[in-house]
Amino acid sequence: MFNILRRRYLFFGISLLIILPGLLIAVFKGLGLSVDFTGGTLVEMQFESGDPPQPAAVIEVYTRLGVTDVQVQTTGQNTLVARSTFLDDATRKEVLEALESEFDQAITVLRFESVGPIIGREVAIRAAIAIAVAALVVVLYITLAFRGIPHASRYGICAILAMIHDVAIVVSLAAIGSLFWGWQVNALFLTALLTVIGFSVQDKIVVFDRIRENTTVYRRLPFETLVNHSIVQTLQRSINTQLMTVEFMLLALALFGGITLREFAVVLLVGLFSGTYSSIFIAAPVLVVWENREWRNWFGGKNSTQAPA
């Protein structure tokens, strides 16, 4: 039988290795937050000739009209995306008219997003509160659902710890993406994050349920063996649900979905994979670490990964 738990510290290390670089980028370079969170205006425009002008020339027009903090990018579809401080409808009209006369061609606005600076911050804060409240309620629910077995609240807390791991993985990915491919953390990213959180908790409960069931059946078994046994028993289900079904759908979305969806699909692909991974390699092992109180050995030099029976 596989012994997954024996190498638990290796798995913790792998996760850290993925999370740390991204978080470092996020701290030092920022996350590439979109106007949804920072406030500001985004205009995606298509030029009639199909050949967009140089970003610098566009920035020049914006600046002439007194708009500051302008960034312009060309997209893969020969459109331009211009981000700036908050523009009201009148200024936006002025800017577009100025651009049309400057480059002497019609411009179609594909997308226009304008968010007041206060709104953006409020959305971010409220989203964080909503997620925190949801996490708390889920801990309570799991504690209630597992009340028949010892240390019921640990299951809830471990589920949330693993969920935080998944959030960290996704945020790390977003930070790496924003550094290398110019990704933006926008409202759609928030949706992806919510999806990952929902799926993550659901997946933890399936694995924990098996531990709950086995606890009542194999009373004599050491906890570590019992958890390992439970993981192995649910492994086939994890692989099938996760890899074969959910990931297939997302892969299809990433490959064939529109450009707006690609980033979203990739974030989900990684996030949901992390959701399943963390059930097996983070949530259940942390339960064991907690049961054995292994932190007493962490700094004592004693090798804490003793082999189970």
Partner 1 sequence: MRPYRSLILIIIIVILAIWINLPDNPGIHLGGYNKEISTRLGLDLVGGVQALLEADLPEGSPADTDLSEKMRTATIIVENRVNGLGVNEAVVQQAGDRRIVVELPGVEDPEEAIAIIQETGLLEFVEMGTSPVPEGAIVQTDYAVGSSAEGAPVPTAEVTGESPPVSDGQVLHTVMTGEVLKTVEVQTDQAGQYIIAFTLTPEGSRTFGDFTTQNVGNILGIVLDKQVISTPRVESAITEGEGIITGSFTADSANALAVQLRYGSLPIPLKVVESRTIGPSLGQDSLQKSLIALGIGFTIVILFMALYYRLPGILADIAIIIYALITFALFRYIPVTLTLAGIAGLMLSTGSALDANILIFERLKEELRNGRTMRQAVDISWKRAWPSIRDSNIATLITCAILFWFGSSFGATIVKGFSVTLALGVMVSLFTAILVTRTLLSLILSYLEIDNYARWFGL
Q: Show contacts with partner 1 in window 20-49 (CB under 8 A).
A: 44
Q: Does position 245 bind partner 1 by CB under 8 A?
A: yes
Given 166, 203, 224, 294, the residue binding partner 1 (CB under 8 A): 203
Rounded least distance, CB 106 to partner 1, Å: 13
Q: Which is nearer to partner 1, 25 or 146 (CB)?
A: 146
Q: Show contacts with partner 1 in window 123-142 (CB under 8 A).
A: 123, 126-127, 129-130, 133-134, 137-138, 141-142
Rounded least distance, CB 196 to partner 1, Å: 9
Q: Does position 205 bind partner 1 by CB under 8 A?
A: yes
Q: Which is nearer to partner 1, 51 or 89 (CB)?
A: 89
Residue 164's CB is within 10 A of a number of other CB atoms, namely 15
Given 181, 218, 248, 298, the residue binding partner 1 (CB under 8 A): 248
Q: Does position 1 bind partner 1 by CB under 8 A?
A: no
Query: Distance of CA 264 to CAs 124, 181, 184, 273, 291, Å?
Result: 18, 14, 10, 14, 38
Query: Distance of CA 154 to CAs 199, 213, 264, 291, Å?
Result: 19, 16, 33, 9
Q: Show contacts with partner 1 in window 280-309 (CB under 8 A).
A: none
Q: Show contacts with partner 1 in window 249-278 (CB under 8 A).
A: 249-253, 255-258, 260-261, 264, 268
Q: What angle do CA 159, 161, 162 make, to 5 degrees?
A: 65
Q: How far apart are CA 162 and CA 275, in angstroms?
A: 8
Q: Does position 85 bind partner 1 by CB under 8 A?
A: no
Q: How far apart are CA 207 and CA 195, in angstroms?
A: 19
Rounded least distance, CB 21 to partner 1, Å: 27
Residue (of 292, 243, 287) closest to 269 by Cα position:
243
Rounded least distance, CB 60 to partner 1, Å: 21
Q: Does position 152 bind partner 1 by CB under 8 A?
A: no
Total site size for partner 1, rule CB under 8 A: 74
Q: Does position 188 bind partner 1 by CB under 8 A?
A: yes
Rounded least distance, CB 42 to partner 1, Å: 9
Q: Which is nearer to partner 1, 248 or 298 (CB)?
A: 248
Rounded least distance, CB 267 to partner 1, Å: 10
Given 26, 95, 115, 157, the residue binding partner 1 (CB under 8 A): 115
Tokens 């092992």 — which residue? 285
Q: How far apart are CA 71 and CA 27, in angstroms?
A: 21
Q: Does position 13 bind partner 1 by CB under 8 A?
A: no
